């Protein structure tokens, strides 16, 4: 082939190269051995901000726009490329015409003729700035995630689909006594006291997607055991395929220790309860014996005294002077008072031992029933105005609650006996989770400085010559209320009446009865 035909063939080849290069997205160039740009594709404007002509007229343009820190590596790469025929690649930054810094992925190859003479360098440059940003963001994310994992106090482990450990954190190394290098690649179940149980939990995660509070025990390298609770879930690849398990363990050594201490305390409490129950059983038997003695042994001499006093009053009345008759009356009154005291003591004793049977109670109906009963007692020869307000229902023992009303309402009737117009009011209202009830009167009242004495046994704020009674009625009220978990208190003013309050649990009915 003659020289003319060779030139034509070369021209056609160059034309094809130019057509391809002119339309490529990447920045292409052809550079002669002396560094002069023979060709620069239009894409260089998009990549560098400079027109192709700028490079064609200034062979040092490329070196000038390369980021200063990257120039040494670029020059070394360029020298190596000129020596060898193999293609080579590198990455570097450039400073665009507008000042923006961009990353370039550069691939080039020296071109030689058939005689081995260097014709120049053919190069392609791709803008990879966005890729670099993504890689940097990914590195930062990985570093952030790693710092979070390492900062965790709990052991964290990533397990592959076949049960092999893929990654661990420092807490896992501390819990097992093995280094990260020793752990990765090993079967995760090797580090538990019950490998089969560990594998069952692992399989449950794959089946259900997660496990919570799965109890296992880690065996440390030195042999000591660490009880743990595991939470674990599967993790997936980009296609959604499950590729492994991420698990977190919580050391519950302290919790186990506390639980054992609580169990030991409970065992001690159970023993003390049994011991106390036995003591109470003995005490109740003593109390029952005492009650029997009161009911029989004390009443016998009282009956004898009452009988002889009656005989003296009837058979020897004519022989007694006025003082003797007065003394016989005193004996009879005290015998009656002693009998009532014995009855009240027995009532208090029985109340303490009585089994409670709770039910919803219509408190309005119960209060009205007690008021009517007490108003109609024999020898009740005075008018008493009694008002029973609508009362909220309670859940309580009916017998004990009735006894509370009997004692409070009868007390109100007693202490209004010296009033020309006696008035008694029974009411109630809701207060939080309790229901409050009260019995109010306009009677004798009392001084509030003595209010703490009211609900004790044998405590009286008035003399026998003023108002009769044994001082046990309010003790019965206090006992009955406290057995329901309630509270009892009073407010009063001398000669202006008193109000007694008590609380009971709410009943099943809403509103008031």
How many CB atoms are located within 10 Å of the residue 216 CB?
A: 20
Which residue, among 199, 219, 202, has the nearest Cα to 211 in the 3D structure? 202
* Alpha-carbon torsion angle 99, 103, 107, 108, nearest 10: 30
Gap between the Cα atoms of 388 and 394, Å rounded: 16
Q: Which residues contact 308 (CB under 8 A, 6 or more apart)?
A: none
Write down the pLDDT at residue 467.
45
Write down the pLDDT at residue 465.
46
Q: Can you name the CATH fold of 13-128?
A: Beta-Lactamase (3.30.450)
Gap between the Cα atoms of 288 and 302, Å rounded: 20
Write down the pLDDT at residue 464.
45
Residue corresponding to tokens 């560990």: 198
Structure tokens at 77: 């790469």
pLDDT in tens, the chain (513 residues): 455 554 555 455 555 556 555 667 889 998 888 889 988 999 999 999 999 999 999 999 999 999 999 999 998 888 888 777 778 899 999 999 999 999 999 999 888 877 878 888 889 999 999 988 888 887 877 676 676 677 777 888 888 878 899 888 888 898 899 998 998 899 999 989 999 999 999 889 888 888 989 999 999 999 999 999 999 898 888 788 888 888 888 888 888 888 888 888 888 888 888 888 777 666 666 666 666 666 666 666 767 777 777 777 777 777 778 777 777 777 776 666 666 666 656 665 566 556 778 889 999 999 998 888 887 664 456 678 889 999 999 998 888 888 889 889 888 888 887 787 889 999 999 988 789 999 999 887 887 776 776 765 444 444 444 445 445 678 788 888 888 889 888 888 888 888 999 999 886 555 444
Write down the pLDDT at residue 461.
46
Write down the pLDDT at residue 15.
58
Gap between the Cα atoms of 297 and 278, Å rounded: 27
Write down the pLDDT at residue 377.
62
CATH class of the 357-505 domain in this structure: alpha beta
Gap between the Cα atoms of 432 and 504, Å rounded: 12
CATH class of the 152-251 domain in this structure: alpha beta
Give 284-296 as a DSSP string: HHHHHHHHHHIII
What is the longest distance spanned by two Cα atoms in the chain? 181
Q: Which helix (H) or strand (E) holds 488?
A: strand 488-493
Write down the pLDDT at residue 458.
43
Structure tokens at 42: 């239009």
Which residue, among 493, 475, 469, has the nearest Cα to 417 in the 3D structure? 469
**Length in residues, the chain:** 513
């Amino acid at each position: 082939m003659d020289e003319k035909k060779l030139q034509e063939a070369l021209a056609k080849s160059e034309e094809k190269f130019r057509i391809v290069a002119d339309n490529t997205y990447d920045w292409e160039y052809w550079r002669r051995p002396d560094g002069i740009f023979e060709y620069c594709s239009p894409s260089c404007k998009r990549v560098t901000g400079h027109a192709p002509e700028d490079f064609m007229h200034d062979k040092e343009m490329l070196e000038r726009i390369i980021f200063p820190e990257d120039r040494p590596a670029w020059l070394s790469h360029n020298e190596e490329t000129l020596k060898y025929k193999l293609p080579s690649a590198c990455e570097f930054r450039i400073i665009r015409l507008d000042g923006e810094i961009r990353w370039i992925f550069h691939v080039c190859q020296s071109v030689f003729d058939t005689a081995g003479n260097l014709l120049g360098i053919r190069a392609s440059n791709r803008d990879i700035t966005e890729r670099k940003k993504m890689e940097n963001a990914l590195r930062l994310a990985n570093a952030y995630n790693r710092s979070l994992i390492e900062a965790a106090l709990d052991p964290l482990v990533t397990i592959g689909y076949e049960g092999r450990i893929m990654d661990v954190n420092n807490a896992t190394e501390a819990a097992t006594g093995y280094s990260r290098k020793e752990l990765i690649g090993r079967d995760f179940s090797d580090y538990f006291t019950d490998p089969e149980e560990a594998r069952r939990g692992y399989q449950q995660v794959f089946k259900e997607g997660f496990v919570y509070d799965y109890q296992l025990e880690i065996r440390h390298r030195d042999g000591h055991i660490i009880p743990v609770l595991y939470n674990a879930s599967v993790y997936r690849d980009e296609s959604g395929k499950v590729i492994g398990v991420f698990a977190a363990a919580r050391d519950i050594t302290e919790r186990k220790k506390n639980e054992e201490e609580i169990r030991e305390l409970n065992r001690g409490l159970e023993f003390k309860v049994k011991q106390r129950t036995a003591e109470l059983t003995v005490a109740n038997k003593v109390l029952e014996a005492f009650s029997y003695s009161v009911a029989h042994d004390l009443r016998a001499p009282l009956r004898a005294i009452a009988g002889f006093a009656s005989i003296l009053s009837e058979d020897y009345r004519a022989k007694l002077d006025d003082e003797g008759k007065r003394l016989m009356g005193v004996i009879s009154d005290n015998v009656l008072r002693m009998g009532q005291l014995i009855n009240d003591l027995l009532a208090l004793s029985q109340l303490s031992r009585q089994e409670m049977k709770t039910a919803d109670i219509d408190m309005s109906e119960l209060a009205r029933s007690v008021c009517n009963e007490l108003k109609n007692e024999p020898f009740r020869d005075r008018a008493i105005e009694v008002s029973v307000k609508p009362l909220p229902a309670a859940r309580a023992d009916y017998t004990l609650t009735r006894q509370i009303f009997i004692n409070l309402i009868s007390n109100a009737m007693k202490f209004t006996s010296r009033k020309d117009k006696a008035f008694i009011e029974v009411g109630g209202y809701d207060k939080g989770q309790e229901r409050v009830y009260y019995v109010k009167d306009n009677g004798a009242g009392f001084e509030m400085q003595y209010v703490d004495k009211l609900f004790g046994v044998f405590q009286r704020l008035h003399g026998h010559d003023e108002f009769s009674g044994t001082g046990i009625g309010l003790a019965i009220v206090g006992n009955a209320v406290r057995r329901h978990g309630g509270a009892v208190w009073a407010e009063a003013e001398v000669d202006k009446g008193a109000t007694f309050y008590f609380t009971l649990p709410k009943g099943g009915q809403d509103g008031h009865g």
